[in-house]
Amino acid sequence: MLRHFCILCIAACSLWTAFIALLVVACSGGSSGGGGEEADGTVKLVLGKLQIPMFDSISVDVSAGDMASIHISKKSLEDNFIIEDIPEGENRKFSVKIYADSGKLVQKGEAIADIKADEIITVPISMTALFGFLRLEVSLGITNSTGVSSGKLTLENMEYDMQFENGKGIFNTGALPLNDRLVLDIVLYDSNGDSLFTGKKEIRLSSISQTETIKLQSHQGSANVEVTPDTTGSPPPIEVEIPSISRPPKNYGDLFFTEILVDPKVSGDDFEYLEIYNPTVDTLEFLNCRVARDRKTTANTYRFDIPDSLIILPMKFLLFGRDSVKETHINYKGLALANNEQSLGIFCGNIAIDSIFYSNKAENKFPITRGKAMQLPTANHKNRALGEYWCLGSSPGREAICQ
């Protein structure tokens, strides 16, 4: 059956636009003995916090009426480069251009600065975005329970295929014109090529300013330009939501263990805990569910029942802890975790939703260490039966932080 989904546009659709400040630190160049000839100044440029999709190159031009123009360009944001022999003086114009999408000029800006001895000045450059880019993210869940196998975005007579990245389907467009009416048309398909989801949205791209920085430090002789990409993340993408429902867990892998503390530093079992994760796009209801050493056990020391009133939201963690564990969603009694090896499962009725066997034996050794939990990064879920894909750490209720 064909279903529809909605598109949420966040922060005017993720344009990469820059605001650049030039910090100029000028030092006296001095003069020669009798001729009064002024020495060349050195300017160090540091271009930071840049993240441009489909980046091709960046260029910087330095010019003035009393000096020869200087032009530099770089096809990487990772390496430093040098502008040499920039004279000190007035009305130095710094022009920055950023190219992307096979050589298309996507941003430009310029500023005028007087470089004087022993002064520090800041000159703002407003980088004008000439084109924008779109990034659409479709939350599919780690296990992709909806069965989406491929997708296609149609935009301005261009088609873009969906890529998969850790539980999400991603569409990245080429450069798009600003302030034009654009219509997004998306179809997601199953493995047979049949349509599972469709969506359409009209948008209009406009500029979004981000804070960018070029720092110039004047010395004598040459200019060293350092270019550093933004590693703190990109502007918010467009988010695409697939319809979800509330239902009981019904399939193996609808839930799985992600963190287990079997041997706390303190004595006794009161500080043990278990963490589970919902990798689906649905809200899961715990109806007749339990955590136990095996499917048939009835002994309280080998199991605990999960309250029927409890739910776990899509792509969220749930923490079960003994009485002394803080910040748990549910405190449980009964089940004690063995320190060396043990079977452990999540069961709803007669259905096994997840099961593992952790052990300290060499043939499938789990990282069992006193005082630290075993953690499974969610990206490793397909290999969770193998101890080598678990790590040591402690981040209850959150994604694994391996130590």
Please give the pLDDT value at position 278: 95
Please give the pLDDT value at position 359: 95
Please give the pLDDT value at position 186: 86
d(CA 299, CA 292): 9
Q: What is the pLDDT along the chain (403 residues), one digit of tens a residue?
A: 333 333 322 222 333 333 444 444 443 333 333 333 333 445 555 555 456 778 888 888 889 998 888 888 888 766 555 666 667 788 888 888 888 888 888 888 888 877 765 555 555 666 777 887 888 888 888 888 888 899 999 987 889 999 998 888 888 888 888 778 888 888 889 999 988 888 888 777 765 433 222 233 332 223 333 333 333 334 456 666 777 789 999 999 999 999 999 998 876 678 899 999 999 989 999 999 999 999 888 888 899 999 999 999 999 999 998 877 878 888 998 898 999 999 999 999 999 999 999 999 999 999 999 989 999 999 999 999 999 999 999 999 999 999 8
Segments of the chain assigned to CATH 2.60.40.1260 = 246-393
Please give the pLDDT value at position 245: 86
CATH 2.160.10.10 fits 246-393, yes or no: no
